[in-house]
Chain A
Amino acid sequence: MHRYFLSRVLQSVLLLLGVVVLVFFMVRITGDPASLMMPRNATPEQIEAFREAMGFNRPLIVQFWDFFTHALVGDFGNSLHFKSPALPLVIERLPATLELATAAMLMAILIGVPLGLLGGFSPGSVLDSLARLVGLLGQSIPNFWLALIMILVFAVRLGWFPSFGRDEWKSVVLPAFALGLATMGQIVRLTRSSTLEIRSEDFIRTAHSKGLLPRTIYTKHVLRNVAIPLVSIIGVQFGYMLGGSIYIEFIFAWPGIGQLLEQAIGWRDFPMVQAIAVFTSVAVLALNLLTDAAYMIIDPRIRYGIRE
Chain B
Amino acid sequence: MKRTTLLLSLLLAASLLVLVACAAPAAPAAPAAPAEAPTEAPAATEAPAPAGPSGTLVRAISTFPNSLDVPQTAERQASTTAWQMFDSLVWFDDDGTIVPSLAESWEVSEDGTEYIFHLRKDVKFHNGEPFNADSVVFSWQRAAQGNFEYSTHWQRADSVEKIDDYTVRITTPEPDALFLSIMADNWAMIPPGYFNEVGQEGFEAHPVGTGAFKFVEWVKGDHITMEANPDYWRGAPKLEKVIFRPIPESATRVAAVQTGEVDIATRLSAEEAATLEGLEHVQVISYPLTRIFYVAFNNLTTGVGQPTEDKRVRIAMNLAVDMDAIIDAIFDGHAKAANGMVASGELGYDGAPPFGYDPERAKELLAEAGYPDGFDMGMACPAGAYTHFEEVCEAIAGYLGDVGINIDLQIMESGQYWDLEAQKQLPPLFGDSWSSAVGEAYPRLIGSLGGMDFTYSAWYDENIAAMLEKIKVTVDQQKRAELYRELQAYMREDPPFIYLYEPVTFEAVNTRVKGYRPRSAETYFLFNVSVEE
Contact = CB atoms under 8 A, between A and B. Distances in A.
A254 to B, nearest CB: 8
A60 interface: no
A153 B17 CA distance: 12
A81 B67 CA distance: 9
A219 interface: no
B24 A149 contact: yes
A82 B66 contact: yes
Given A41-B443, A159-B33, A163-B259, A253 B6 contact: no
Interface string A159-194: 100111110000000000000000000000000000
Contacts of A263: 63-64, 248
Given A47-B422, A151-B255, A130 B9 contact: yes
A31 B382 CA distance: 14
A262 B454 CA distance: 30
Contacts of A44: 452-455
Main secondary structure of the interface of A (DSSP, over half): helix
A255 B9 contact: no
A303 interface: no
A152 B24 contact: yes
Contacts of B17: 137
Interface string A126-169: 10011011001100000000001101110111110011111000
Contacts of A268: 415
B255 A156 contact: yes
Interface string A245-268: 000001111011001101100011
Given A41-B456, A152-B24, A164-B261, A133 B419 contact: no
A288 B380 CA distance: 46
Contacts of B15: none
A148 B251 contact: yes
B298 interface: no
A41 B454 contact: yes
B5 interface: yes
Contact of A157 (B32, B247, B252, B422): B32
Contacts of B20: 149, 153
A163 B455 contact: no
Interface in B439-463: 443, 446-447, 450, 452-456
A30 B66 contact: no
A15 B152 CA distance: 44
B246 interface: yes
B13 A137 contact: yes
A169 B252 CA distance: 19
Contacts of A165: 222-223, 245, 247, 261
Contacts of A82: 66-67
Nearest to A262: B248
Contact of A124 (B5, B147, B456): B5
A141 to B, nearest CB: 8
A164 B245 contact: yes
Contact of B6 (A36, A84, A92, A132): A132
11 contacts: A30-B416, A31-B419, A35-B419, A39-B152, A83-B67, A96-B221, A129-B5, A136-B10, A158-B33, A162-B261, A255-B220
Interface of B: 2, 5-6, 9-10, 13, 17, 20-21, 23-25, 27-28, 30, 32-34, 37, 63-64, 66-67, 72, 74, 147, 149-150, 152, 201, 219-223, 245-249, 251-252, 255-256, 258-259, 261, 413, 415-416, 418-419, 421-422, 434, 443, 446-447, 450, 452-456
Interface of A: 30-32, 35-44, 46-47, 53, 81-84, 89, 92-93, 96, 124, 126, 129-130, 132-133, 136-137, 148-149, 151-153, 155-159, 162-166, 250-253, 255-256, 259-260, 262-263, 267-268
